[in-house]
Amino acid sequence: MRPDTLTCRWVRRMIEAVGLTKRYGAKTAVYNLSFQVRPGAVTGFLGPNGSGKSTTMRMILGLDNPTAGQVTIGGYPYRRLPNAPRQVGALLDAKAVHGGRHARNHLLCLAQLSGIPARRVDEVLGVVGLQDVAKKRSKGFSLGMGQRLGIAAALLGDPQVLLFDEPVNGLDPEGILWVRNLMKSLAAEGRTVFVSSHLMSEMAVTADHLIVIGRGQLLADMNIKEFISANSADFARVRTPDAEPQQREKLTAALTEAGGQVLPEQDGALRVMGLPLPRISDLAHGHDVRLWELSPHQASLEEAYMRMTQGAVDYRSTDDQRAGLQQQMPPGAMPPPQMPVPGQGQPGWYAPPPPQQGGQPFAMPQGQPAGPYGAPAAPGGPGEPNPYAQAAPAQPAAPDMTKPEDAR
For the segment 111-130, give every residue that binds another protein (CB under 8 A).
Answer: 112-117, 120
3-state secondary structure of 16: strand
Burial (Cβ within 10 Å: 0-12, 13-18, ≥19) of residue 295: exposed
Query: Residue 156 or residue 262: which is nearer to another protein going by CB?
Result: 156
Stretch that binds another protein, among 261-269, 302-310, 332-340, 380-388 (CB under 8 A): 302-310
Query: Residue 147 or residue 247: which is nearer to another protein going by CB?
Result: 147
Beta strands in 243-368 (DSSP E): 261-264, 270-273, 293-297
Helix count and strand count (H, E) for the chain: 10, 13
From 56, 147, 183, 209, residue interacting with another protein (rule: CB under 8 A): 209
3-state secondary structure of 198: coil
Stretch that binds another protein, among 27-35, 81-89, 268-276, 313-321 (CB under 8 A): 81-89
Q: Work out the number of other CB atoms within 10 angstroms of the CB of residue 376.
A: 17
Instruction: Decide if residue 233 touches another protein (CB under 8 A).
Output: no
3-state secondary structure of 241: coil
Q: How far is the CB of 272 from another protein (least distance, A)?
A: 15
Query: Residue 53 or residue 247: which is nearer to another protein going by CB?
Result: 53
Per-residue HEC secondary structure of 44-111 comes to: EEECCCCCCHHHHHHHHCCCCCCCEEEEEECCECHHHCCCHHHCEEEECCCCCCCCCCEHHHHHHHHH
- x/- letters, 240..259, toward another protein (CB under 8 A): --------------------
Query: Residue 25 or residue 324: which is nearer to another protein going by CB?
Result: 25
Are residues 40 and 194 in contact, defined by beta-carbon separation less than 8 angstroms? Answer: no
Query: Residue 92 or residue 289: which is nearer to another protein going by CB?
Result: 92
From 28, 281, 298, 318, residue interacting with another protein (rule: CB under 8 A): 298
From 105, 131, 256, 360, residue interacting with another protein (rule: CB under 8 A): 105
Instruction: Decide if residue 61 touches another protein (CB under 8 A).
Output: yes
Query: Residue 122 or residue 158: which is nearer to another protein going by CB?
Result: 158
Instruction: Decide if residue 223 touches another protein (CB under 8 A).
Output: yes
> What is the C-alpha separation between 183 and 186, in angstroms, rounded?
5
> What is the C-alpha separation between 271 and 262, in angstroms, rounded?
6
Beta strands in 138-239 (DSSP E): 161-165, 192-196, 209-214, 217-223, 235-239
Instruction: Decide if residue 13 touches another protein (CB under 8 A).
Output: yes
Q: How far is the CB of 174 from another protein (least distance, A)?
A: 18
Query: Residue 79 or residue 408: which is nearer to another protein going by CB?
Result: 79
Stretch that binds another protein, among 166-174, 224-232, 245-253, 282-290 (CB under 8 A): 224-232
Query: Residue 18 or residue 204: which is nearer to another protein going by CB?
Result: 204
| Total residues at interface with another protein (CB under 8 A) | 76
314-353 positions binding another protein, by CB under 8 A = 342-343
Length of the chain: 408
Stretch that binds another protein, among 96-104, 241-249, 272-280, 381-389 (CB under 8 A): 96-104
Q: 130 Cβ partners below 8 Å, 6+ apart?
A: 103, 145, 148, 149, 152
Are residues 41 and 221 in contact, defined by beta-carbon separation less than 8 angstroms? Answer: no
Instruction: Decide if residue 21 touches another protein (CB under 8 A).
Output: no
From 122, 208, 265, 406, residue interacting with another protein (rule: CB under 8 A): 208
From 30, 46, 97, 124, residue interacting with another protein (rule: CB under 8 A): 97
Q: How far is the CB of 39 from another protein (least distance, A)?
A: 6
131-160 positions binding another protein, by CB under 8 A = 153, 157-160
Measured over the CA atoms of residue 379, residue 383, residue 385 and residue 390, the dihedral's sign is: negative
DSSP, res 174: H
Instruction: Decide if residue 169 touches another protein (CB under 8 A).
Output: no
- Among candidate residues 378, 370, 18, 104, the one with its CA nearest the CA of residue 212: 370
Instruction: Decide if residue 287 touches another protein (CB under 8 A).
Output: no
